[in-house]
Amino acid sequence: MNEPIMSVANVGKQFGGLIALKGITADFKEGQITAIIGPNGAGKSTFFNILSGALKPSSGTLKFRGADMAGVPQHDYVHRGIARSYQITNIFPNLAVLENVRVAAQAFRSRMNIWTNRGVYEDIEEKASATLAAVGLSGRAGTLAKFLAHGQQRALEIAIALVADPALLLLDEPTAGMGPEETREMVALIEKLAADRTILLVEHKMKMILGLSDRVIVLHHGELLADGTPEEIRANGEVRRVYLGQ
Ligand code: ADP
Ligand code: MG
């Protein structure tokens, strides 16, 4: 369990003249929940996009289970075991909740050729139902996605990522726009999902992160300011200074 599932070494990212990330080095351990935090503009989204294959780094390397990801296109990440959710909810609003998950399961399984393998249809149905149950949405299977509460839409989005059975699940601000009750429910869901997989998330809610995460990475001006347990981060003077007044 102590082998890193993902490791980044000296990762940098430039957008034209702007340096968004500078020489980030970090290992992500299997089975842990790691939070990436930092003030606005720190480089969190850029880092997250690199980890999920949406962006390629300008320099440095990204490895998943020891394999260099440099030449791997984003659409192959999910088949390697890396899936993500987005900061903005990404669902089909006019499809029922179960249909949303089924479309995702079908897309993921399409490599197995659904036109020639009849058994795949039943697998997809089963997978979609089981995944809905895993995020607590079985009772809303027939509801159009647009009629779900915000927190349930975010859970649905996570279900869409989960149909790929990712070993590494990346969550971009999973509690964005949620009140305390929805946030508590999302935290409980993340804790449950973490029993079977590695989770990496970007978040703003400091208190929630410190309670939920095994480890916290703090970015500031594109640099890795701190990397440690919640207790170490809480006690870190530089981190306190950066967050003062936020
Ligand atoms: P965070 O998510 O921590 O708020 P970002 O990763 O979004 O930070 O941004 C880091 C820096 O990179 C910011 O200065 C931002 O304006 C810049 N940036 C991010 N994406 C792009 C882009 N596609 N083109 C140009 N600049 C970008
Ligand atoms: Mg961001």
The CATH code of the domain that includes 212 is 3.40.50.300
Task: Tell me the pLDDT band of 145, cut-offs 50, 70 and 90.
Answer: very high
Cα–Cα distance measured from residue 11 to residue 23, given in angstroms and rounded to the nearest whole number: 5
pLDDT of residue 114: 59
Share of residues in the chain with pLDDT > 70 (%): 93
The β-bridge partners of 218 are 37, 226
Task: Tell me the pLDDT band of 74, cut-offs 50, 70 and 90.
Answer: very high
Q: What is the mean pLDDT of residues 147-165?
A: 95
Task: Tell me the pLDDT band of 121, cut-offs 50, 70 and 90.
Answer: confident
Does the model's ipTM exceed the 0.90 cut?
A: yes
61 falls within a domain:
yes
50 falls within a domain:
yes
Alpha-helical segments (H) within the chain: 44-51, 74-80, 97-109, 119-134, 150-162, 180-193, 206-212, 230-234, 237-243
pLDDT of residue 244: 63
Q: What is the mean pLDDT of residues 221-231?
A: 96
Answer yes or no: pTM beyond 0.80.
Answer: yes
Q: Which two tokens stand for residue 21?
A: 């990330």
- Which residues span the domain enclosing 221? 1-73+200-246
Ligand 1 pocket residues where CB is under 6 Å: 15, 18, 20, 38, 40-46
223 falls within a domain:
yes
Which of 11, 13, 14, 15 should be mutated for ligand 1, with most atoms under 8 A from CB?
Answer: 15
Which of 14, 36, 46 should be mutated for ligand 1, with most atoms under 8 A from CB?
Answer: 46
Angle of helix 97-109 relative to helix 150-162, nearest 10 degrees, comes to 20
| Nearest CA owner, ligand 1 atom 13 | 41
CA angle 127, 186, 240 (to 5 degrees): 135
Q: What is the mean pLDDT of residues 140-165?
A: 96
Q: What is the mean pLDDT of residues 9-35?
A: 97
235 falls within a domain:
yes
pLDDT of residue 208: 84
Round to the nearest angstrom and report the end-to-end CA distance of the chain: 36
Higher pLDDT, 209 or 121: 209
The total number of structural domains in the chain stands at 1
Q: Which atom of ligand 1 is nearest to the CA of 49?
A: 6
106 falls within a domain:
no
Q: What is the mean pLDDT of residues 129-157?
A: 96
Q: Which two tokens stand for residue 199?
A: 């989770």
- Ligand at minimal distance from the CA of 49 is 1
pLDDT of residue 123: 84
The set of residues, in sequence order, having a beta carbon less than 8 Å from that of 93 and lying 6+ positions away, is 144, 145, 146
Task: Tell me the pLDDT band of 49, cut-offs 50, 70 and 90.
Answer: very high
pLDDT of residue 107: 85
56 falls within a domain:
yes
| Nearest CA owner, ligand 1 atom 10 | 43
On the question of pLDDT at 153 being above 50, the answer is: yes
79 falls within a domain:
no
| Nearest CA owner, ligand 1 atom 19 | 46
SS3 24: strand
| Ligand 2 center from residue 47 Cα (angstroms) | 9
Average pLDDT, the chain: 91
Task: Tell me the pLDDT band of 246, cut-offs 50, 70 and 90.
Answer: very low
| Nearest CA owner, ligand 1 atom 14 | 41
88 falls within a domain:
no
